[in-house]
């Protein structure tokens, strides 16, 4: 059970990437700008409607940031505690591999964050 929790907590970025590779939606939307554009195109939004929809997206993003600023420290603490618990049963070789996995996942998350920020 603990291993499953740890795998979930540390493998989020990899799991997300794998899901996207397997699911392959009809239109690959990698950033918010693409999502907004595709929504506007599919719904054939008027300019006035686009203004309202864009405002709603901006409002949503701001609320999500507010919520995550409160929640993120608790999530990070849980993740770090789970990692410590897992590391306590690993051999030195496994610890090295696990650290590399964590670093790889962090690079993926950082890259995804930079891509999201660049698309705004």
Per-residue pLDDT reduced to its tens digit, 50-70: 999 999 999 999 999 999 999
Q: 2, 71 in Cβ contact below 8 A?
A: no
Q: CA torsion sign, 110 to 112 to 118 to 120?
A: negative
pLDDT of residue 64: 94
Q: Are 114 and 31 in contact (CB under 8 A)?
A: no
- Token look-up 């950033």 returns 31
pLDDT tens digits, one per residue of 76-120 = 999 999 999 999 999 999 999 999 999 999 999 899 888 877 766
**CA 26 distance to own-chain centroid:** 21
**pLDDT on residue 12:** 60
Predicted pLDDT of residue 32: 83
Strands (E) across the chain are located at none
pLDDT score, position 116: 75
Q: Are 28 and 17 contacting, i.e. CB atoms less than 8 angstroms apart?
A: no
Q: Do 105 and 14 contact (CB within 8 A), yes or no?
A: yes
pTM for this entry = 0.55
pLDDT digits (tens, 9 = 90+) for 8-54: 555 665 555 555 555 545 545 567 888 999 999 999 999 999 999 99
Provide the mean pLDDT of the chain.
83
């Amino acid at each position: 059970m603990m291993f499953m929790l740890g795998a979930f907590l540390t493998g989020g970025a990899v799991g997300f990437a794998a899901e996207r590779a397997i699911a392959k939606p009809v239109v690959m939307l990698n950033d918010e700008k693409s999502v907004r554009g595709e929504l506007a195109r599919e719904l054939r939004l008027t300019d006035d409607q686009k203004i309202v929809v864009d405002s709603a997206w901006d409002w949503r993003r701001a609320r999500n940031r507010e919520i995550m600023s409160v929640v993120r420290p608790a999530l990070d603490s849980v993740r770090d505690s789970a990692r410590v618990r897992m590391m306590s049963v690993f051999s030195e070789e496994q610890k090295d591999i696990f650290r590399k996995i964590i670093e790889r996942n962090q690079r993926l998350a950082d890259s995804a964050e930079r891509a999201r920020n660049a698309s705004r």
